[in-house]
Structure 1
Amino acid sequence: AELAKVFADIDLDGSGTLDLPEIEALLARPQMTRLLEGRSAADLLREMDSNGDGKVDWAEFRRAMLGEEGAPQWAPGDVARYFSATHNTWIQCSVQSVDAQSGAITIDIKPGCWVSPEEQRF
């Protein structure tokens, strides 16, 4: 309940998501600047925004604050490697999208195919 209050306090426009200006306002608080060890608002947004939509929703905020397992380790644009059984080699690829709930990703060389977290740990 306390974490929800913190989220609501940061969500200045009441949209249910945190955007860059709201995170910048948070960093304007002197005690926050000390705690965040020089990270910028853009850094924080990038770290918490697991689905890459440019905003942090409640689920993303909660996962980031509580360090919950299952938080996606990928973000759109991340470079990865995919093992092609057809070619019997590793191929560089780019993460296209991330499912914030499951951690599954799509990659540019396998359009429309979701890769589960279990498959990501080859």
Structure 2
Amino acid sequence: MGRKEAILNKIQILITNHFSTPEEAFAFFDKDGDGKLAKKEIVKLLKQAEISGFIRGIVASKLIEGYDKDDDGFIDWEEFKFAIDEISDESK
């Protein structure tokens, strides 16, 4: 399993073990309630997923880069849902 797959697997485990739905997970990490996950909110998600502190910032930036379809620098609900669906598909 490559590094990317290992990180995505940890995120999936966090969401499935601690939240009833992806919507619940998104709402939990969207601390300011603006409907978007900022980099600092994604870093907190990665911390909860037990991603090493050394690489959390890099991984958060890469997640935004990879899933921020409207290039606003945030992950909104639709982008988050797309990412979760992709993570789920990769784990099958």
**Distance in 1 between the 2:75 and 2:50 partners?**
18
Aligned-pair RMSD on alpha carbons?
2.3
Shift of 1:33: 1.0
Compare CA radii of gyration and give the structure with the larger one: 1
Q: How many residues align?
A: 65
Residue of structure 1 in register with 2:65 after alignment: 46
More strand by share: 1
Question: What TM-score does the superposition give when structure 1 sets the normalisation length?
Answer: 0.46
More helix by share: 2
**Distance in 2 between the 1:51 and 1:32 partners?**
28
Structure 2: tracts of 5 or more residues without a match: 1-19, 87-92
Question: What TM-score does the superposition give when structure 2 sets the normalisation length?
Answer: 0.60
Structure 1: tracts of 5 or more residues without a match: 68-122
Residue of structure 1 in register with 2:40 after alignment: 21
> How does 1:1-122 map onto structure 2 within 5 Å?
2-29=21-48, 31-33=49-51, 40-67=59-86
SS in 1 for 2:22: helix
